Amino acid sequence: MKFKREIYAKTRIECTIGIGPNPLMSKVALDIEAKKNHNGIAYWKYEDVPTKLWSIRPLNKFWDISYKTEEKLNRKGIHSIGDLANYPLKYLKQSFGKIGEELVRP
């Protein structure tokens, strides 16, 4: 809350904050949870991956997955980030090429 108060005091702009162990998880925590929390803050840990990250659906809610890519993934039976994380990389590469590898890269 200290960061939020300082930002507001200096700019008079409200903000939301996503905190995580790496930039990707911070960004996703911001997009998926912080923007909806009454205090505007979300903190995700690696332990939260199965419950918070993997439960994200539809896939286009996840940063950098377009509607078009989501449709292709859905046709493969992939409907959540958990489905994507557990889908064999070999088949993602076969179906999506380089993008298939990037979809599951940590």
- Pick from 29-33, 91-95, 99-103 the range whose average pLDDT is largest: 29-33
Element (H, E) at 103: helix 98-104
Residue type at 9 in one-letter notation: A
CA 87-49-70 angle, to 5 degrees, is: 45
CA 73-29-87 angle, to 5 degrees, is: 25
Fold of 60-104: DNA polymerase; domain 1 (1.10.150)
Rounded to two decimals, the pTM is: 0.81
The pLDDT assigned to 42 comes to: 97
Phi-psi domain of 57 (left: phi exceeds 0; alpha: psi -120 through 50; beta: other): beta
Instruction: Classify residue 33 by its DSSP letter.
Output: I
Mind listing the pLDDT tens digit for each residue in 49-95?
A: 999 999 999 999 987 899 999 999 999 999 999 999 999 999 999 98
pLDDT at 2 over 60: yes
Round to whole Å and give the CA distance between 55 and 52: 6
Q: Calculate what percentage of the chain has a pLDDT beyond 70.
A: 98
Q: Taking the domains of the chain in order of start, what are their residue ranges?
A: 2-52, 60-104
- Average pLDDT, whole number, for the chain? 92
Sorted by sequence, the CB contacts under 8 Å of residue 57 that are 6+ apart come out as: 79, 80, 81
CA 46-65-68 angle, to 5 degrees, is: 155
